[in-house]
Structure 1
Amino acid sequence: MATLTDIDERSRSIFRSLVETYLATGEPVGSRTLSHDTKIAVSAATVRNVMADLTDMGLLHAPHISAGRLPTQLGLRLFVDGLMQVGDLSPEERRAIDAETRANDADNPLEIAAARLSGLTQTASLIVTQKSDAPLRQIEFVRTSPGKALVIMVFEDGRVENRVINAPDDLPPSSLVSAGNYLNTRLRGRSMSETRSSIIEEIESNRSELDELTSRLVREGVADKAGDDNWQLIVRGRGHLLDESEQDIERVRMLLDDLERKRDVIELLNAAREGEGVKVFIGSENRLFSLSGSSLITAPYRDENRKIVGVLGVIGPTRLNYARVVPIVDYTAEVLSRMLK
C-alpha cells in the first residue's frame, strides 16, 4: 500500500492538483490540464511520466483509453489523510449553521441540524440519536390484545414513539390508567434514562402504592430495551443523491436501498462514535455502502456532560468536496452539542 513517503514532492504536487481538479469537475484529468497549473510548473511530458508512476502505484486509474486519469479509492484515501488542505467555513456558512440555535425554541434541533447540513453540502444527511435522550411530555398505556399493551410516549421535541410490551392477561383497564398517571407524574419533563432506576427502586421497595399488576405494567413500560430499537435515524436530502446527471442511476438506487435498511445504517454510524472528531469512510472502506461506491463523513455530538450521545454525517458520491464538507460536518456537530447543553 502506497504512503506519502513513497512519493517525492513533485509527484505529491501533481497528485494533489489532479485530485482537486477531479473533485471539482468529476471528469478524468489529463496531463495538459495539469501542466497549465502554475503551482506545478513542469511540462506535460513530465506530468505524463509522473501520472504513469502513480498509476503503477495504484493511486490513479484510467476509466477508458485516454490520457485522463482518476484517483482510485486508495488515492482518495491518501489525499484525504495527508494532502488535503481543509478549508475554513465562510461567514455565510457559519451564520447558517449558527441559526440553528435561534430556531431551537420551536423546532426539533436534530431535524433542523439534518436539514441545514443537507442544504449546505447538497448531500443526504444522516443523524442517529438515542430515542430516550429527549424529555417526555406524556406517556399512555393502551390494551391491544391478550397479553400485550401499547406504550405511547410523546416527547418534548414532538416525536412520538410506540412500543408493544407484555401485559398480564387479567389486567383491568383501571391499571392502564394508573400506570400512565404514575409515570406521567415522575417522567414529565425528564428523560427515561434519568428516571428509570429511581422508578424501579420505588416499586421494589413498595413505596409506589401500586398493586402488583400495575407495578408489572410499569416495569415493562420503563424497561431498557437494548439494541437498535433504542436508536432513532433521521435522513434528510435523499433527492440530492439524484441531482448530478453523471451519477449511475443503479448505484443511487442501491444507495437508497441501503438507507432503508435502518438497522445497518445505525450500526455503521454507531461505529463512528468510537473516537474523536470527523471520520471519513470512502467507498468499500465501509461494508454497508461498498457496492454503491459512496463516501460517508461523520462527527459525534455531545450532551451537557460532554458524553457522546449521537452521530451526524453526510453521504454522497466518492467525488465529494472533502475539504469543504469536513469542516461543515465538524462545525454542525459542535453547534448541535451547544444546543443540547
Structure 2
Amino acid sequence: MKHATIPDELKSLDERSRDIFRRIVETYLSEGDPVGSANLSRQLPQSLSPATIRTIMSDLEHLGLIYSPHISAGRMPTQSGLRFFVDAFIEVGDLPEDERKAIETQVEEAGHSQSVEQFLTGASQILSGLSRGAGLVLSTKNEGTLKHIEFVRLDSSRAMAVLVTQNGDVENRIVNLPEGVTLSQLSEATNFLNAHIQGRTLSEAKAEISRQREETKAALDELSQHLVDQGLAVWGGEDQGRKTQLIVRGRGNLLEDVKAAEDIERLRHLFDDLETRESMMQLLDLAEEGSGVRIFIGSENKLFSLSGSSLIVAPYCDSNQHVLGALGVIGPTRLNYARIVPMVDYTAQLVSRLLK
C-alpha cells in the first residue's frame, strides 16, 4: 500500500491528541456520526475533563484534521484527517484465515465460468459482498497479433471482412465495396494484406501499410488499394488498441447508508461517473501508476471527486507482469480501510494467478 508523506506538525502530535483523534475517526468509520467531548471523556482510559478534551479538539480542528458538521455537534474527520489516519494509524496485516478461504473458494468457483467476463463479474460480486461497498473490475483486452484477413463478398456493394488473430479470435465487419470491384481485386487485396499483417498487432499493421503507401500504389490498382485501406480502417476506434469494460456490482450497498439529500446527490454523481468511458481509462491509469493497492479518499481522486467517494484499487497482471486491468471497492469515505485493503490486494493476486 502506498503512503503519503505525513507533515511534521502531525508527526509531533502528543499521545493524548493522537488518542482523541483516533477515537473520533474510529467512531465515524463505524457509525458515521460525529462524537462530542462528553462521549470521548467516558471512552478514554485516562481521566480527562470535557473541557480539556474540547481544547485538544480545537487544536485538531486548527490542524485541519477534524471539523464540526454544524453548530453544537461533535467532531468528524476531514478528508485530510482521514488521509492522516489511513497513513499513520492503520496497520494492514494479513486477512483472517476464514476470509482468505472464502475469497479463494469464491474466486476459484468464478474461475470455472465459461468466459473471462463471467469470471471477472464474479470477482466484482465477491468484493461487493465482502466489503458492503460496490465491487468494481476494469478489464482490458490488448490487441493480439494477427494471423489472417479475408474478404467474403455478400453482394455487389458489400463484403464481410473476417479478421483472425494468432490466438484464434475471429471478428467480422461489413465493408462497402467500391463500385465495379471484381473478385480478382478482392483476392489481390486479401493477399497483399496477409503478406503484411501476419505476426503484427492491428495498430502495427496499420502503421506498416501506411509506411508502404507508395509501394502499395505501385503494386495495386486503385480499387484494390481502396480495399486494403478499408479492410484495416474498419477495425479502428479503440483506445490505443485496448478494449475496456467496467463491471460494477453492489451499487445497492451504497444506498443503505444514505442519510440526507446531499448523499443522494453524491451517489448520483458517482453512478454517472461510473458510466463514462473516460472513467474506465482513468481508472486503469490509476492502477498502472504503481504496483500494489492504492487508496484514494474523496477529492484526492479526480475521477470521483464530485461524489466524494473513496476508492481502494489494485491492478491484476499476466505472467509477464503486464497490467490487464484493475479491481477494487468504491464506497463512502468511511470504508473499513484496514479490512478492505488486504481483501482487494489478495483478490487481485488470485485473479492474476488464475488468468495466467
Short-chain TM bin: 0.7 to 0.9
| SS of alignment partner, residue 142 of structure 2 | helix
Q: Distance in 2 between matches of 1:30 and 1:321?
A: 22
Instruction: Determine the structure 2 residue equivalent to 1:260.
Output: 275
Q: Aligned in 2, Cα 1:142/1:32: closer, same or farther, shift over 3 Å?
A: farther
Offset at residue 53 of structure 1 (A) = 0.9
> Tell me, what secondary structure is at the counterpart of 2:303?
coil
Change (3 A) 1:97 1:27: same
Indicate whether 1:279 and 2:285 are aligned: no
Please report the TM-score for the alignment, with normalisation by the length of structure 1: 0.77
| 1:41 corresponds to | 46
2:43 match: secondary structure: coil
2:91 partner SS: coil
Distance in 2, matches of 1:302 and 1:265, equals 17
Q: Distance in 2 between matches of 1:161 and 1:244?
A: 44
Residue 230 of structure 1: SS of its match in structure 2? strand
Local SS of the residue matching 2:35:
coil
Secondary structure at the aligned position of 1:103 is classed as: helix
- Residue equivalent to 1:75: 81
* Equivalent of 1:231 in 218, 222, 244: 244
Change (3 A) 1:221 1:227: same
Structure 1 contact 252–292 (Cα < 8 Å) conserved: yes
1:217-273 deviation per Cα after TM superposition (whole angstroms, max 9, x unaligned): 554466694448633222222222212232511111111111112213421431331
Distance 1:36 1:212 in 2: 83
Preserved CA contact (<8 Å) 2:139 2:245: yes
Q: Which residue of 1 aligns with 2:108?
A: 101
> What 5-or-longer segments of structure 2 have no aligned partner?
1-6
Q: Is the 1:258–1:265 Cα contact (8 Å) retained in structure 2?
A: no
Q: Contact 1:61–1:71 at 8 Å: present in 2 too?
A: yes
Partner of 1:126: 136
Q: Give me the CA root mean square deviation.
A: 4.4
Say if 1:60 and 1:70, in contact at 8 Å, map to a contact too: yes
Output one character per residue of 1:101-142: Cα deviation in whole Å (capped at 9) or x when no partner: 243133423222112111211212222232236899x99989
Return the offset for 1:61: 0.4
**Equivalent AA in structure 2 for residue 312 of structure 1:** L
- Which of 36, 52, 60 aligns to 1:54? It is 60
Work out the percentage of aligned pairs sharing the same amino acid: 46
Q: How does 1:1-341 map to 2 (within 5 A)?
A: 3-37=9-43, 40-45=45-50, 46-99=52-105, 100-105=107-112, 106-108=114-116, 109-132=119-142, 169-170=178-179, 216=229, 219-220=232-233, 225-227=238-240, 230-246=243-259, 248-341=263-356
Whole-angstrom CA distance in 2 between matches of 1:282 and 1:84: 14
Once the two structures are TM-superposed, the CA of residue 147 in structure 1 deviates from its matched residue by 9.7
Closer/same/farther in 2, CA of residues 232 and 14 from structure 1, 3 Å limit: same
| Contact 2:297–2:310 under 8 Å retained in 1 | yes
8 Å contact from structure 2 (residues 245, 280) kept in 1: no
Unaligned regions of 5+ residues in structure 1, if any? Answer: none
Cα distance between partner residues in 2 of 1:238 and 1:153: 37
Question: Structure 1 stretch 241-250 or stretch 17-26: which is displaced more?
Answer: 241-250
Describe the shift of the 1:198–1:220 C-alpha distance in structure 2 as closer, same or farther (beyond 3 A): closer
Going from structure 1 to structure 2, the CA distance change for 1:66 and 1:339 (only over 3 Å counts) comes to same
Q: Deviations over 1:139-162 (max 9, x none)?
A: 99899999998878899xxx9988
TM-score (norm 2): 0.74
Aligned residues between the structures:
327
